[in-house]
Amino acid sequence: MKLVALVVVALVLALLYLVVQPLAGKGPRWAGPPAEAARLESTVRALVKLGPRHDQAGMAKAADFLEAQLRALGLSPVFQDYRFEKGNYRNLSVQLGPQAGPRLVVGAHYDVRGPFPGADDNSSGTAGLLELARLFQAHPPSLRTELIFYPREEVQGMGSAVHARSLPPGAVSAMVVLEMIGCFDQPQRFPWKPLGWLYPSLGDYIVVVGRPQDFFLVRTLKRALAAAGGQVQSINAPEIIPGIGNSDHRNYWLQGIHAAMVTDTAWYRNPRYHTARDTPETLDYLRMAKVIDGIAAAVSEIPR
């Protein structure tokens, strides 16, 4: 009986290690220029100032804004235009680092659910991705990296699905999505009560989310984010847990690509999620900057 008990305990501990990765440690620090909180805030405010981004006209206006910002950085965005339900939509992407070999994709969606400001969801991720473009333009990553901005994450006809389906086999080694990265210091809720035993009840941390098979991708991201100075947690779990696959990364899973989400956990933390109260004043730009520094450091460390 003692042996059985020991085996059960060992299995439980192994499962917890797989899910939570409590001993991931810290990875390399970003060697380029740091992300700037003021720039992140300026971009979030500019996106919100564009007005609603839940319809074709609003998304087109956001795409034009992002194109102008990328060109101001000296980058030449590539467009992937597509039609959905008689509307025209656009993915915008830039490639940095070497132009050969399998690439890492880092993405964020620029649309909003309903006629709301969408500061956290997802101006925060979009601003972070634009700041990442600035950092990589100044200090190129050592491996091929594509940054891509998507429309229609909140509704059918997702730009990320169009992009993921267009990829030749083996073209992309991994994908990371920035999905709401600005809300901190709120009570943390969980889809399943037992998860509350594994994670802090105060949401003062960013979370890296992946499936069990994305273990090493999640680990690399977690280590780099920890090295950047922020609080970070992670979860490797199947999609049966609500929220695990609720962003653009899932479309890459469907194509057999390792993918992970970096998030403040959306409705499990942010009381302003999908409301008119999701405004720029509610975000923590200093901690957002640490998230972007961590992502920048992780890019060259993610296994290809």
Banded pLDDT at 15 (limits 50, 70, 90): low
Q: What rounded mean pLDDT belongs to the chain? A: 94
- CB count, 10 Å around CB of 203? 22
Taking only the tens place, the pLDDT of each residue in 216-269 is 999 999 999 999 999 999 999 999 999 999 999 999 999 999 999 999 999 999
Confidence at residue 203, expressed as pLDDT on a 0 to 100 scale = 98
Phi-psi region of 145 (alpha: psi -120 to 50; beta: other; left: phi over 0): beta
- The residue among 66, 30, 31, 28 whose CA lies nearest residue 50 is 66
Banded pLDDT at 9 (limits 50, 70, 90): very low
Taking only the tens place, the pLDDT of each residue in 142-185 is 989 999 999 999 999 999 999 999 999 999 999 999 999 999 99
Instruction: Assign 3-class secondary structure to 32-68.
Output: CCCCCHHHHHHHHHHHHHCCCCCCHHHHHHHHHHHHH
Question: Which of the following CATH numbers is that of domain 28-299: 3.40.980.10, 3.40.630.10, 3.40.50.1110, 2.40.128.260?
Answer: 3.40.630.10
Rounded percentage of the chain residues whose pLDDT exceeds 70:
94
Banded pLDDT at 100 (limits 50, 70, 90): confident
Q: In angstroms, rounded to a whole number, what is the distance separating the alpha carbons of residues 40 and 52?
A: 19
Q: In angstroms, rounded to a whole number, what is the distance separating the alpha carbons of residues 31 and 292?
A: 13
Give this prediction's pTM: 0.95
pLDDT at 202 over 90: yes
Q: In angstroms, rounded to a whole number, what is the distance separating the alpha carbons of residues 238 and 232?
A: 20
pLDDT at 8 over 60: no
Domain ranges of the chain: 28-299
Confidence at residue 101, expressed as pLDDT on a 0 to 100 scale = 84
